Amino acid sequence: MKGYLIFDLKVTEFRYPIELSNAMETDILSGLSSNVPKEIVVGPVSLTIRSTKSYWGDVSEDYTEIITMATIYNENLIPVPITKIHYLVEMNNIRLSEGSSNVATVIQPKSEATFVTRLDNRMLDECWVSHIKNGERTKVKIALPGY
């Protein structure tokens, strides 16, 4: 935080610069990790997401990655190919990302799959303001549209 104090001495005004810096921690990703099973059924194919764990990936001026490890159980007798995962990421109802990850993988029984979402850094300022206005709480939503 940078700013200055203004002293009004009636005859003149005096400005004293101040700069404060403190480390801050927030655990936005804790809400994206879960051990609660979620079943996905698409036609005759049934998969169960047994757990998810998210962590930060690459960061650039334009984007921030969230990498999600998903443990997926294939309940079928045949392998299930997955070519893309479409996703939507919102924080406090502010859309930070929408797109797809090309995963090109085949889910065997008791397999793990990884997918990456990229957040649009242009929206982080608005998201931070909403975090402060919400009593330093953020509601994170990652959706896989169509499922």
Q: Which domains does the chain have, with CATH numbers?
A: 24-143 (2.60.40.10)
pLDDT in tens, 14-32: 888 888 787 767 677 777 7
- Give the pLDDT band (50/70/90) at residue 147: very low
User: Strands 80-91 and 94-107, how do they pair?
Assistant: antiparallel
Asked if 82 and 105 touch (Cβ cutoff 8 Å), the reply is yes
Query: In sequence order, which residues have a C-beta less than 8 Å from that of residue 111 and are 6 or more positions away?
Result: 71, 72, 73, 74
- What average pLDDT score do residues 37-56 get? 85
Please answer whether residues 95 and 88 qualify as being in contact, where contact means their C-beta atoms are separated by less than 8 angstroms. Answer: yes
pLDDT beyond 80 at 34: yes
Is pLDDT larger for residue 55 or for residue 112? 55
**Can you point out the beta strands (E) in the chain?**
2-8, 13-19, 38-42, 45-59, 63-74, 80-91, 94-107, 111-120, 140-143
Q: What's the one-letter identity of residue 134?
A: N
Mean pLDDT of the chain: 81
- Please say if the pLDDT value at position 145 is more than 70: no
pLDDT digits (tens, 9 = 90+) for 99-143: 777 777 888 887 777 777 777 888 888 888 888 888 888 887 777
pLDDT tier for residue 11 given thresholds of 50, 70 and 90: confident
User: 58-110 pLDDT, tens per residue?
Assistant: 988 888 888 878 788 888 888 888 887 778 888 888 888 887 777 778 888 87
